[in-house]
Amino acid sequence: MRAMLLDAPGRPLRPADIPIPSPGPGQVLVKVRACAVCRTDLHVVDGELEQPKLPLVPGHEIVGEVVAAGAGVDTFRAGERIGIPWLGHTCGVCPYCRSGHENLCDAPGFTGYTIDGGYAEYTVADAAYCFPLPERYDDIAAAPLLCAGLIGYRSLRMASDARRLGIYGFGAAAHIIAQVARHQGREIFAFTRPGDAAAQAFAAGLGAVWAGDSTAAPPVPLDAAILFAPVGGLVPAALAAVRKGGVVVCGGIHMSDIPSFPYRLLWEERVVRSVANLTRQDAIEFLALAGEVPIRIEVTPYPLAAANEALADLREGRLQGAAVLVP
Ligand SMILES: [Zn+2]
Ligand SMILES: [Zn+2]
């Protein structure tokens, strides 16, 4: 099969012909129909996330068709469409797994990082970490639901009942979750790179009540803010934008250093927290929600062989919505 391989961090992906993997016990073999490109893939390729499997097939927002199942799989049949997300495996026995926090598992496996992912024509996955997808989305539109949507949803949950919600970085995750948040009756305040008029217009088009530069103050204090941009300097900016008791949720897996800031920005019970990975329960809840809420998913498809171009476009901020590789 054709695959795009990471040989070492910092190098471009290399197109290669490798054997089609065979499904072990509990696994399914999946023909990849679409795989979205996530900012986390950039962090892996650029070496900001340490010790990936090497060589590695990146990609953890996979939509595919089951072609074969290993021993013991009775959940999915050949021909069925499934989604494969970032959380690829958990140990089931650590204190986190046993207390409903499998996203924090001590011995996890992550798709497209420690387990081969979806930048290929086929992949294998543990069937217990795969999900049926809502029918209203075609393969390419469904792919970004599997991380941009899922991690976005977990971030949104951590913003609890915030009505006025700031979103810093209006990319793939933001554009999905802003629509879900609006459906829930929240007001969206979108912050983009300074001067990025196209992203601000994009946010306004998706129903944001305000869209402006990340350096600007919102017109009213926010109840919570979610940071999808991997820019540590936005943490104090977001703290300054939220009201007393407001929460700032950092949704990314990697961020540049957070500069020191005066304690008064944190004072009055403001909270800064991160969101790590996802639980399978998050996936079940979010995919059910995505089946009910008509989310307009903005995608730019690329052929699999153009994975390096897709990553470069994401790195340079040339994309609106999500890049999706199509084998
Ligand atoms: Zn565990
Ligand atoms: Zn991701």
- Percent pLDDT > 70 in the chain is 100
In this prediction, residues 42-62 reach a mean pLDDT of: 96
The pLDDT of residue 59 is above 90:
yes
3-state secondary structure of 56: strand
Mean pLDDT value across the chain: 97
pLDDT in tens, 85-107: 999 999 999 999 999 999 999 99
3-state secondary structure of 102: helix
**d(C-alpha 113, C-alpha 49), whole Å:** 9
- Which one of the ligands is nearest to 98 CA? 1
Stated pTM of the model: 0.95
Q: What is the pLDDT of residue 192?
A: 96
Backbone φ and ψ for 57, nearest 5 degrees, come out as -95, 110
The rounded Å distance from CA 57 to ligand 1 centre is 24
pLDDT in tens, 164-213: 999 999 999 999 999 999 999 999 999 999 999 999 999 999 999 999 99
The rounded Å distance from CA 99 to ligand 2 centre is 24
Strand 242-250 versus strand 222-227 pairing type:
parallel
The rounded Å distance from CA 52 to ligand 2 centre is 15
Token pair 């024509």 in the structure block, residue: 121
The pLDDT of residue 320 is above 90:
no
The rounded Å distance from CA 41 to ligand 2 centre is 7
Residues with CB under 5 A from ligand 1 (ion): 90-91, 94, 97, 105
Q: What is the pLDDT of residue 140?
A: 98
pLDDT in tens, 250-290: 999 999 999 999 999 999 999 999 999 999 999 999 999 99
Token code pair at residue 158: 């951590």
Q: What is the pLDDT of residue 317?
A: 86
Cα angle, residue 139 at apex, residues 129 and 31 outer, rounded to 5°: 60
pLDDT in tens, 104-126: 999 999 999 999 999 999 999 99
Half-sphere exposure of residue 265: CA atoms within 13 angstroms, side-chain side: 14
The rounded Å distance from CA 281 to ligand 1 centre is 15
- Which one of the ligands is nearest to 322 CA? 2
Instruction: Yes or no: say if 36 and 4 are a contact pair by the CB < 8 Å rule.
Output: no
- Which one of the ligands is nearest to 277 CA? 2
- Which one of the ligands is nearest to 113 CA? 2
Report all structural domains of the chain as residue ranges with CATH numbers, in order of start: 2-146+277-326 (3.90.180.10), 150-274 (3.40.50.720)
